[in-house]
Amino acid sequence: MEENSTWTFLEIVHHLEDGCGYVPNTPAPQYFAFTTDRFLALINGEWICLSDSEDLDIRNGYFYPEQLLYNNIASQVGHNPPRLPEKYGVSRRMVLDPYQLSHVVYNLGYSRPFRTSCAKFIRERPTTRDRQQGQSACITLCLDETAFVHKFDEAWENRIWTLCMWNELVKEHLAWLSTLGGAFSALGKIGFKAFAERAGKISISQLRLALRLGDPILSSRSRIYFALSLIQQRSFRMARRILRNERRFARSEAARSEADKLESIVDSVWQYLLWEEKQNKYSAKQKKKLEARADRLLFDDETMRSKATIADTILAMSRLDFAQKA
């Protein structure tokens, strides 16, 4: 635990037109104390440790802790918390607007180098330079209520505008990819393998955009569409593996918001996979059966004479014609 003499204090007051200051009647902290390792706030007579936490929020110039992370104050601050320093003259005051003050308090809580630089700045001021080394220092930060004009942060506005425009362009691109992917998938479903391959490439493009957006739901749907393309290309084993993984993802906590919809999509594609596998096995059996019958018709004259069906005759004639051309 640091000694009391090593603490640096900030007093937060409001600044009026006549130059006087007052402490706002709110639950917001009036004093902050910090070292290179800690950042504390005095709230309701107790020192609360706010270092490296996300508790500070600024609303209309007041600082509120959203929730107190530490129930046991003594275990975090120590049994001998810092004592408030003596009052100093008006020359030790600094007037800040709410925008500047919010940046100061935020960086004190999150940045160790900033805490070190701020303590060095306060201790090197002319009004505190003659104090003994190692004693606590205090400076008053006045929140100017007469200058509650929100500043236009142009750099941040440009960044947000760029991100918003990029997001809209990506969404438009995804909409076009969804339309094209659906069209190619429909053509691939009726037996055109080249269109099924093209639909798979479109699904991969959608997956890349979804990963860049950081959208796990859209990424999962893109993988499901890619599995649909694999089914149309008769790559059943890979498609089955992808669908099983996506079913597990749909039941996970990450997909809770879209769990029902994702699971319905997986179920429908899974049923399509089973149907295509069944049709593929049936087609293979029929092909073998026709090949065997054609062999009998070609090489067994008695079988050919005994078969009176038109289909057998046409099949035998086509097979004979092919053999003669070869």
- Same domain for 113 and 14: yes
**Is residue 27 located within the same domain as residue 132?**
yes
Domain match, 259 and 274 both: yes
Please identify, among 124, 147, 170, the residue that sits at the C-terminal boundary of a domain. Answer: 147
CA–CA separation, 296 vs 292, rounded Å? Answer: 6
Task: Examine the domain organization and report whether 13 and 139 are in the same domain.
Answer: yes
Residue with token string 């902290």: 29
Provide the number of structural domains found in the chain: 3
The pLDDT assigned to 105 comes to 77
Question: Are 233 and 319 in the same domain?
Answer: no
Specify whether 193 is located in the same domain as 109.
no
Q: Position 126: which residue type?
A: P
Question: Looking at the structure, do residues 64 and 25 belong to the same domain, yes or no?
Answer: yes
Q: Same domain for 202 and 165?
A: yes
What is the pLDDT at residue 270? 92
Q: Are residues 175 and 66 in the same domain?
A: no
Quote the pLDDT of residue 74.
35
Q: Is residue 21 part of a domain?
A: yes
Contact 243, 225 (CB under 8 A): no
Any domain includes 288: no
Q: Which domain holds residue 210?
A: 154-282
Look at residue 103 in the predicted model and tell me its pLDDT: 78
Return d(Cα 212, Cα 206) in angstroms, integer.
Answer: 10
Asked, for residue 287, whether it belongs to a domain, the answer is: no
Domain stops at, among 103, 123, 147? 147
Tokens 């209520």 locate to: 145
- Sites in the chain below the pLDDT cut of 70: 1-5, 14-29, 43-44, 50-93, 125-136, 144-152, 290-326
Q: 224-274 pLDDT, tens per residue?
A: 999 999 998 888 889 999 999 999 988 888 888 888 888 898 899 999 999
> Considering the entire predicted model, what is its pTM?
0.47
